[in-house]
Amino acid sequence: MAATKVLVVDDSLTMRALISGALEKIPNVTIVGLADGAAEAREMVAECRPDVMTLDVEMPGMSGLEYLAEIMETKPMPVIMFSTRTTDGAADSIEALRLGAIDCFPKPKVAAPKELESIIVKLGKRIKAAKNVELKGRAPVVKATPPINWNGRLVVLGGDASSTTKFFEILGGFPGNCPPTLVVQHLGEGLVDGMVAKLNEQVAPKVVVAADGMKIEQGHVYFAPAGEHHMVVDAWPDGHIRFLAREPVAGERPSISLLFAAAAKAAGNNAVGVLLMDGNEDGGGGLKALNGAGSYAFTPDAAAGAGAYTLSRNITSQPVPPGALPASILKMCSK
């Protein structure tokens, strides 16, 4: 298998050395260039043809966010962002993901290799998987959607950082009286609150960080908080959110699979599940539970092109064209 070529972009010489040194320890990853800003990066992209770029959010001149927007509009490629661990940094991270970055990691507080050890395994996985990530570009402009005549179905969504633009697309296509929707998104520490805040600025439904015991209501979207608990639904209809203090599933907590399985058990064929990423790890088991209960399940269909999905129920399935996912979900939830 050919090595994944990475270009590191950061205005700090120390940080370039630290990040590249950490990445060089990952098997089948090769550093093909170090750039101090957008101008030098453009030249190296043309010369070195990297598979993946790591990019600092905060740079003098053209910022990392501005350069990311340029990349996604002119020549999209997988970009992993590094941002400071501050409130402003969290907001910048969500904006980077909305623009099309596949993930965002915290910059080390000090220039020490140990600061990167806690994220190096996950970073390595993201870089190696980057070649197969669907590059979606920035989230579309939200358009007003007419109210629905809800049929009582519960919606559960699962994804990771690279699914951020899809979350904006789906929830931006939901009306204010959307079907009650529960979300598990695998984001870095401190980013769920920023994601919820950004969505509330742009979408019609009320988006909240879930809490144990919350009643699940129409017109609301509930994001599972990162931390020590899984999120499930206890009953349907008239269900509540419950937190479970269990071990991670497929290395993740909260788990998409546990949420999907709980929805299948509680709602049966009155659930609609949408997995926005590859389900080989977290998510795959939950999809099986949904199908087994007669629920509707949407999954990416790479063979049908970027943005295409497959809608399955029991042993039947049908294609969902690119861009039709929000409307298709609402159709399943309308009388």
Q: pLDDT tens, position by position, for the chain (335 residues)?
A: 688 999 999 999 988 988 898 888 888 899 999 999 999 999 999 999 999 999 999 898 899 999 999 999 998 999 999 887 555 668 888 999 999 899 988 877 665 566 677 677 778 888 877 766 766 655 555 566 899 999 999 999 999 998 999 999 999 999 999 999 999 999 987 899 999 999 999 999 999 999 999 999 999 999 999 988 999 999 999 999 999 999 999 889 999 999 999 999 999 999 999 999 876 678 989 999 999 999 999 999 988 877 899 999 988 899 999 889 999 999 999 99
Q: What is the DSSP letter of 302?
A: G
Instruction: Indicate if 158 and 280 belong to the same structural domain.
Output: yes
Residue 24, domain member (yes or no) = yes
Q: Are 236 and 244 in contact (CB under 8 A)?
A: no
Residue 17, domain member (yes or no) = yes
Model pLDDT, residue 107: 79
Q: Are 230 and 249 in contact (CB under 8 A)?
A: yes
Instruction: Indicate if 91 and 229 belong to the same structural domain.
Output: no
Buried b (16+ CB within 10 A) or exposed e, 230-255: bbbbeebeebebbbeeeeebeebbbb
Handedness of CA 137, 60, 42, 162 (dihedral sign): negative
Q: Please name the amino acid found at residue 94.
A: I
Instruction: Indicate if 171 and 307 belong to the same structural domain.
Output: yes
Model pLDDT, residue 86: 54
Q: Are 330 and 173 in contact (CB under 8 A)?
A: yes
The values of phi and psi at residue 161, to 5°, are: -60, -35
Q: Count structural domains, the chain.
A: 2
Residue 149, domain member (yes or no) = no
Q: Residue 315 is part of a domain; what is its CATH number?
A: 3.40.50.180
This model's pTM is above 0.85: yes
Burial of 39 (0-12, 13-18, 19+ CB in 10 A): exposed
What is the span of the domain harbouring residue 288? 154-332
Buried b (16+ CB within 10 A) or exposed e, 173-205: bbbebbbbbbbbbbbbeebbbbbbebbeeebbb
